[in-house]
Structure 1
Amino acid sequence: MREVTISDHGGRIMATISRMWSWWLEETDEKDGRAKFILTIFVTAFAVSWYTWVIKKSRKEKLLWLLPPGPPGLPLIGNLPFVEPELQLYFFRLTKIYGPIFRLQLGNKLCVVLNSPSLAKEVMRDHDAVFANRDAPITALTISYGGMDIAWSAYGHDWRIQRRLFVREMMSNTILESYYTLRRQEVRRTVCDIYTKIGTPISIREQMFLTVLNVIMNMIWGGTLKGEERIRVGAEFRRVVEECVELMGKPNISDIFPVIARFDLQGLDRRMKRLLLWFDQIFDSVLDQRRKTVKAEGNGKSQESTDFLQLLMQLLDDEDPKTRITMTHLRALLMDVVVGGTETTSTTVEWALSELMYHPHIMRKVQDELEKVVGKNNTVEESHLRKLHYLDAVLKEVLRLHPVLPLLIPRRPSASCNVGGYTIPKDTRVLVNAWAIHRDPDAWDRPFEFRPERFLTEATKSDFNGNDFRYIPFGSGRRICAGLPLAEKMLMHVLASLLHSFEWALPEGTELDLLEKFGIVIKKSTPLIAIPSPRLSNPQLYAPYATFEI
């Protein structure tokens, strides 16, 4: 038998093609015409699909070449199996391998992590407008009424109106000064309450949460909640707020694979909706009581003080479209203040006391300063705070080592952008790792040590305003924390009062650790339990309404 050669195969293929082409061109009946038409469509579709696949593949390969480096992942799920629970530590270790900017593929979501002051500056100042949108998890959108608040809303006209109103009507120096009596009253109540527990172990986190919550509730709706109702609602608020923060920080498969989000496989969104319903019931009750009070007192003219709620309700009736807000906006703003203010502030106070108890010589310096500025026969007033330079340095150092939001709030670029020489595609989740930036050895001397003195020298005297990108505990740029002025006042006043009024010790047989538990808010792994003892000799200084000359 003759051996079949390559030329034979080639001839057969050409003959087949020739016959097909001839069939295609020759006149045929209706049946053949339909077949040719279908075959034409099929071949065309195949050619277009093949061409599109080739183009996309080449573009993807080109894009991958421009993307930041990162660890290899698995098909479909990417790097998900390798991500560790303590994200701030996991990201910090990855910087040693891939440098200060790297990428992770989390299911369908591309995530880019920035870990240096220069990269933070590029995102939060140089390209601030491009990165002004939030990449909100589904649970955050639920609790914020679909992103109608300041923290999670998309950057745009509505957000600018809300933030302008919030800063002007609630966070201005004049407005905050008018709330001083309310803040002082709650701080004094806390000092009195702790005084009744002398010698008893107390949870600092719980105590501070209730303190901050009472301050915020008093500023939001004044004396609307009183007595037993205040205590009951306060305890319930703590449970609900902590669960809200926990749900926002939990990994959610619905965020990783949006195509299955409607099934809510982990039930996180259902849980958040139940919490939202609880908040709505509280807000409805308070709003109804306020309406009745305003009506009874003649539009509120005889009220003793103005609070956030009164200001917001006035804006509801404002006919100017530039300042008028909706009821949904009002609720979302209240949610921001309640959830955003309580958990972050109470956690920072717990970290501060923990660090000071771990470094007793630093605590002694703080208390010596308080004795000099305030005096042992006086109570701490906000007018003292600007003179407490060492305490201010301590607070800054606490927020350097323990930024409450270690990865800040995720950003999402509105367009592809070049950062650090790499391309960050549109809609990528961008995380600014403040925790790592605050420990950058190129930016900080002995970065893992607790050294408040670093903030007393002019060369490193950073503030909270985000102008020094080595130090961004509250973020920077147009999306910097809107409640910063209030947070700064509350943190200093509460912390100064606790350290001036009491000595703090651990229960016998316990040891203090500074281990962290990651979440959207980073907490102490083991809550701080401490025993207070009085520092001041005059018992009247522990009265809830003690007033002494400044």
Structure 2
Amino acid sequence: MFSFLTMSLFILLSLMSVYYLFSKFLTLESRPPLPPGPTPFPYIGSIISMLRNKPTFRWIHRMMDEMNTKILCVRLGNVHAIAVSDPDIALEFLKDKDWIFSSRPDSMSGYLTSGGYLDTVLAPMGDHWKKMRSILSMDILSGARHKWLLTKRNEEDENILRYINNQCKTNHGGTRGLVNVRIIGQQYTTNMARKLLLGRRYFGKGREDGGPGVEEIEHADSLWMILVYLNAFCVTDYFPWLRWITDFDGQEKIVKNAILIARKYQDALIDERIQQWKDGVRIQQDDLVDVFITLKNTSLTADEIKAQTLDMFLAGFDNVSNNIEWAIAEMINQPKILCKAVQELDFVVGKDRLVQESDLPKLNYIKSCVKETFRLHPVAPFNVPHVTTADSKVSGYFIPKGSHILVSRLGIGRNPEIWDNPLTFNPDRHMIADKEVALNDHTLRTFSFGTGRRGCPAVLLGSTMSTMLLARLVQGFTWELPLNEPHVDLKENLHDLAKAKPLLAIAKPRLPHHLYPTS
């Protein structure tokens, strides 16, 4: 009897095993293939190739070109990194199926920067993200709030004009009026963020000429350093257990130090402000930190306010400044484009007053210059990574749960199947008769602010800042290169997409003297 039962059980288990293996085989046979990519090693995937081919984003784009594919799968550890350079495929991820692809991956830099995912941009999908996104949409970045902050934006628009005008009167190494356009962009964006968020232009005293002081320079440098490593390809993101053993590639120490410097300036002011509201010393909202503190329907902790404040500093810091430096560089190299932009401003605004935000709807060519710069010179090679919460199928390929989705701003903006002469700076390609130029593009032919649930909620503010800064620079000054420099060198950095050398150009006032702010 015993042997009969044993035999029966053995046969039953054998049949079940055969059925399981057969079912697994059928599943694998019926499942679509992964997107093309390099053949991974067991367990470690292509991590060795990644480490040998820095910077990683150029290695990924090079593989896409060599394999002639618009979607690439690179396995790093157990994570499938899916890179996409086609807008239609990107829309499947970010819009058509964004309920599956709207979360964020866990990363060392993301966790540290967001204070444990207490912000909006880096937080995974969930109740916290929904709460923060709702606050941003309804209370912080709404149209009504945008109007409320107009005076503060005007103050910074005037201050940057004052600063450049002061540089025009100064000799720099024997050259009068030599201006570092990169510094101008970074100063404008950080000043604007400080004014909107904290109600002040400087952490310290600043400079008499309107320029940044030591505190502002250190703060801006720390923001830049965070952005360099935020969502970088860090080994411990693919082998999380390594985080408990060692800072494998030294990134964690750099990120922690940069965050410490940035928050040294911000957090003390936020703590002081919270106490003022508790003590009844402050009774009226003046800036966005006040709004965060006094939300009526939802209360935020001090840590959440601090995380979101850093989030907004980072979001507004690099995109505008990168855009303006590249735009002025391209326009100096093509004087006809610069001349056309000047003519539009002279026609719409004139030379007897300064351009205002109310003029922006009529400045289509200026906006086209900004949009063309977003297309050709994006601030980052990829969007902030998305992570899939379930197995899915996109463009005929299998996308496993947990995959990191990287939409290539670079690949989309310079895609020859979408754009004629994609490496040529040509703002006219965005000009459509009787239609206002919009910087946001939900078709993703240009990846400026994204789309879907994770699309940037600050489209209005970002568009306004980029367009106003370029309009003020072009209306207020002529721009030319120093002697013996026939053209601007448009080479990119190897490790990122910033201009390899900061743009140094000679600025000269072109409006009546009394229009330039002096105090």
Q: TM-score, normalized by length of structure 1?
A: 0.82
- Please give the alpha-carbon distance, in whole angstroms, between the structure 1 residues aligned to 2:373 and 2:146: 24
- Structure 2 Cα separation of the partners of residues 340 and 103 of structure 1: 28
- Letter in structure 1 aligned against 2:474: L
Partner amino acid, structure 1, of 2:141: M
2:491 aligned to 515, 531, 534, which one? 515
Counterpart in the other structure of 1:161: 131
> 1:249–1:469: structure 2 CA closer, same or farther, 3 Å change rule?
closer
Q: Which among 11, 35, 41 is matched to residue 68 of structure 1?
A: 35
Q: 1:143-163 deviations in whole A, cap 9, x for unaligned?
A: 111122111101122211111
Tell me how far 1:106 sits from its aligned partner. Answer: 2.3
Q: 1:284 to 1:52 in 2, by over 3 A?
A: farther
Letter aligned with residue 309 of structure 1: V
From 256, 274, 295, the counterpart of 2:257: 274
Answer yes or no: is the 8 Å Cα contact 1:84–1:90 preserved in 2: no
Q: How does 1:97-496 map to 2 (within 5 A)?
A: 97-198=67-168, 199-223=176-200, 225=202, 228=205, 231-262=213-244, 263-291=246-274, 294=277, 298-301=281-284, 306-315=286-295, 318=296, 320=297, 323-457=298-432, 463-496=438-471
Name the CA distance, whole Å, in 2 between partners of 1:84 and 1:61: 34
| CA offsets 1:378-403 (integer angstroms, 9 cap, x no match) | 11211111111110111111111112
Q: CA deviation at 1:205?
A: 1.3
Alignment-derived partner of residue 517 in structure 2: 543
Q: Which residue of structure 2 aligns with residue 498 of structure 1?
A: 473
1:236: how far off?
1.5
* More moved, 367-376 vs 217-226: 217-226
Partner AA of 1:449 in structure 2: T
Whichever residue aligns with residue 242 of structure 2, its letter is I
Segments of structure 2 that go 5 or more residues without pairing to the other structure are 4-9, 169-175, 207-211
SS in 2 for 1:514: coil
**Change in CA separation of 1:514 and 1:51 when aligned onto 2, cut-off 3 Å:** farther
Distance in 2 between residues matched to 1:461 and 1:468, nearest whole Å: 16
Counterpart AA for 1:212: T
CA–CA distance in structure 1, aligned partners of residues 257 and 198 of structure 2: 23
What amino acid does structure 1 have at the position aligned with 2:236?
S
For residue 462 of structure 1, report the CA deviation from its aligned partner. Answer: 6.8
CA distance in 2, matches of 1:459, 1:78: 52
Confirm whether residue 79 of structure 1 aligns to residue 46 of structure 2: yes
Q: Quickly say closer, same or farther: Cα 1:120–1:140, change in 2 above 3 A.
A: same
CA distance in 2, matches of 1:89, 1:458: 40
Letter in 2 for 1:242: W
Letter in structure 2 aligned against 1:175: R
Equivalent residues in 2 for 1:27-42 (5 A)?
Answer: none
Of structures 1 and 2, the larger Rg is shown by 1
Structure 1 CA distance for aligned equivalents of residues 345 and 405 of structure 2 = 42
Which moves more between the two structures, 93-102 or 212-221?
A: 93-102
SS of residue paired to 1:196: helix
Is this contact kept in 1: 2:77–2:239, CA < 8 A? yes
Q: TM-score, normalised by structure 2?
A: 0.87
Change (3 A) 1:136 1:458: farther
- Alignment match, 2:6: none
Distance in 2 separating the partners of 1:224 and 1:535: 27
Assess, with a 3 A threshold, how the Cα gap between structure 1 residues 494 and 296 changes in structure 2: closer, same or farther. farther
Post-superposition shift, 1:289? Answer: 3.6
Letter in 2 for 1:238: A
Q: Which letter does structure 1 place at the counterpart of 2:69?
A: G
